[in-house]
Every structure is written in C-alpha cells, then in structure tokens.
Amino acid sequence: MAASLTTGTTPPHRGTSISGSVRLGAVAPASGSIRLAAEHFTAATLYLLAGSVGLVWIAPELAAGNYLSPHVAGVTHLFTLGWITMTIFGALYQLLPVALGAPIRWPKLGHTSFWTFAPGVGLFACGIADNSTLLRHVGVGLVAIGVILTVTNVAATLPRARSRDVTWAAIAIAITYLSSTLVLGVVLLHNIHTGFIAAVRVQVLATHLHVAIVGWALIMIVGVAHRLLPMFLLAHGANVRWTKPALGLLACGVPLLAVGITTRHDAASWTAVVLMEAGLACFIYQAVSFFRVRVRKRIDVGLRFAAAGLAFLIAAALFGPVVLWRGPSATRLATAYVVLALLGGIVVFVSGFFYKIVPLLAWTARYSGPKRIEGAPTVAELFSARVAEVQLGVMVSALIILSIAILLGSSAGAYAGAALFALGVLLFLSQIGRAALGRPRRGIAT
C-alpha cells in the first residue's frame, strides 16, 4: 500500500475523504501492521456482539439500577475491554507508524499481547458474571499480561515518533491511565475475596469507571480525533488550539475526582467535575470547529456516528453533576449516566471511526499494488451506507429508550432498548463482515 501511495495509485473513495487524506500522506494503512490491526478488530467485533447480547440479559438489572451486580460488571467489561480497548489497540498499530511516523517497536510482541489479552477478556468477563474464581483469576492474569505488553510496546514506540504533538501526548497520557485502570481493577477483584475496601467499594468502583472511560478511552479519542477528524472531513484552516486544553483539563480532572470521591472531599470532587466538563467542552468545540470548516459538505455515515457519539457525551456531561449531587443512593440515575457515557459516547464514536478505518484496511489488503486494478470497487462500495444509516438510527433510538427506561425503572423498556441495540450491532457486523470478507468483483484477481 505504501508503494501504491507513492506511485499515485490512490484508492478511489467516493463519498469519503480518504483521497484527500491520502494526498496528505497521513492515514494510508501501514501494510506491515494490517494483520496486527485486523486480528484486534476481528476480536473487538465479536466482543461487541457478545456485549450486545449480554445487554439484553442484564436489562432488568439495569432497570433496577443494580450496577453492583456481577452480571452487569461482566457485560460492562465486554464493552470496555473487549470492544473499546481492543479497537484502540488495533487502531494504535495503524496510527503510530502512519500518523506519527513511529514504526511499532516490536510487532511480534503485538501479536503476543493480542493472544493473551483477547482470550483473557472473555474468561475474565465470564468469571465475573458467573462468580467463578478460577475464570476470574486466569482471565485477569491474561488481561494484565496483554495490557502490560501493549503498554510496553507503545511506550517503546512513542520515542521513535517524528513529531511529538498533542496526539502523541494524548497516547502517552492514555496508556498511563490504562495502567491505572488495571491496578484499580485488580484492587476491586481482590476485594471480592477479602472485602478489605468494603467501606469505600462504591467509591473505588466509581474511580475505576472514570479512569477507564475518561482517562483511557476519552483522552485517547481526543488525541486521535485531533489528527483524524480534519483528514476525514477535509477540514483545512480550523483553529486547533482547543485540543491541548482539553487534554490538560481531562488529565487533571480524573485524579482529582478519584481523590474527591474516595476521601469524600466535596470540594475536590466538584472541582474535578468542573475541570472534566471544561475539558469535554474544549474537545466538543474543537470537533465542531473541524466540522464547520470541512471542504466536503456531505457528512458520511462514519462521521455521523462520531457526531452522535459527541452528542451522547454532552448528555452524559449534563447528568454527571446531578449524579454527584444525588450520591450513590440514586442508583438508576448513576446507571443511566454510565450507559449514556459508555455505550452512547464512547461505543458509538468508536463505531464511527471503525467505519472509516476497517473498509480502508480491507481495500488495501485486496486491491492495493503498484498499479491501479481496473474494476476494483471504491472503499465506500465495500459496505452499504444506507444500511449503516439505518444502524445509526436504530442504535441512537435504542440508547435513548434504554436510558429513559432505566430512569423510570421499566424492565420492559430496558428489554426493548437493549434488543434494539443488539439489532444495531447485528447490522454493524453485517456491514463490517461485508467490507472485510465480501467477494471481489468479477474479473478481479486477489
């Protein structure tokens, strides 16, 4: 693929901004790490499917606000570790060499970390949900090895980057928070057997969630979006100064919130909320700035997903102060807040970037070469934008219904919302499967 880019045989991509990004030479897939990214993306989609099925299973517990249920914890990890973290790992193996000019330090270590992390997530989630000590311990051991190996690999790769901009800084901050998330997770797991933090279990759980969602996933999204959104949108000339304060405010807010809620120091907690809300506002403003100055006025489906994810993040940010004010006794409110932030904000946003990255990787794997292949489909033709639009409508409706049902304590409504979400995931898998495995056009040799 790298050869094709330098010889002018750019992949045709009607309806998206890939051609522009290829001209910029920044998001063309790194051929050497396509397999590494592909195996992570494949596992991620399977975990997204498992999480959506699990969401239906735990719908009554969500409606009851029972966020401490082992079932809820197990399914939540299918999304956080299985879908979000696995997708970020796969994206990093593409982003680091292409966008930052930093070839992966140890590619073989990337495969090793995948084969420990991927099965570990499943065992760990099942162990939590089924209250199996053996599965929990084996699973968390494999997950820990996978995280440590990946963080080590990424940390060893970052110094090789040609530029150290806000995207570079965001990746460095995010993998630090990922390590912290692992430590807090081990603490919570140890508490299951010993109860040594029984008095502050809920506070530690809240810290674990915010470190994972804000410190790991959101900060990574802020940094990656800073690099990829203007390329996907062909947005030239936007004011790009808002990402830096967004990262600083979010990175400072997370540890302060941890101190505030674990020590029950209200001033620290509310200051942290202000910092994180301000950080999110800076990120939203930055993203909107990119959308405003885009050259191509039509917004493709992947970017519509991203925009929907931003809207859910705003909704979650509105819920955040209310959740802190009401305290842990408002269980349904806290559950709806996490659903909006995790499933609405992070999962939907990541799905949008998935639509931008995976079809391009599939196209590269099949059709790239020193010469343009006549009759080859465009990247956009590898999936149906119409079905993807339907999927977006289904998933947004599902999350609105699910959130309202949780607030009202309606099990039937929660079932309906969860079932709709699962339908949306099935549509997503059909599109990704079509892009990755669909038959080449007649006459095309692959």
Quick: pLDDT tens for 49-97.
Answer: 999 999 999 999 999 999 999 999 999 999 999 999 999 999 999 888 8
Task: Go through 271-286 and write b for each residue having 16 or more CB atoms within 10 A of its CB, e for each that does not.
Answer: bbbebbbbbbbbbbeb
Distance CA 205, CA 210 (A): 9
pLDDT digits (tens, 9 = 90+) for 255-296: 999 999 999 899 999 999 999 999 999 999 999 999 999 987
Residues of the chain where predicted confidence (pLDDT) is lower than 50: 1-26, 442-446
Distances (CA, A) of 233 to 132, 306, 320: 47, 12, 30
Per-residue pLDDT at 94: 86
Burial of 134 (0-12, 13-18, 19+ CB in 10 A): exposed
Exposure of 189 in the CB half-sphere (CA atoms within 13 A): 26
Beta bridge partners of 294: 235
| Measured CA angle at 95 (ends 87, 239), to 5 deg | 110
Question: Which pLDDT score, from 0 to 100, does residue 440 have?
Answer: 56
- Say if residues 286 and 233 touch (Cβ distance below 8 Å): no
**pLDDT for the residue numbered 317:** 97
Residue 445's pLDDT is 42
| Coil, strand or helix at 235 | strand
Give residue 413's pLDDT: 97
Q: Distance between CA atoms of 164 and 156, rounded to whole angstroms?
A: 14
Enter the pTM of the model.
0.90
First to last CA, the chain: 14
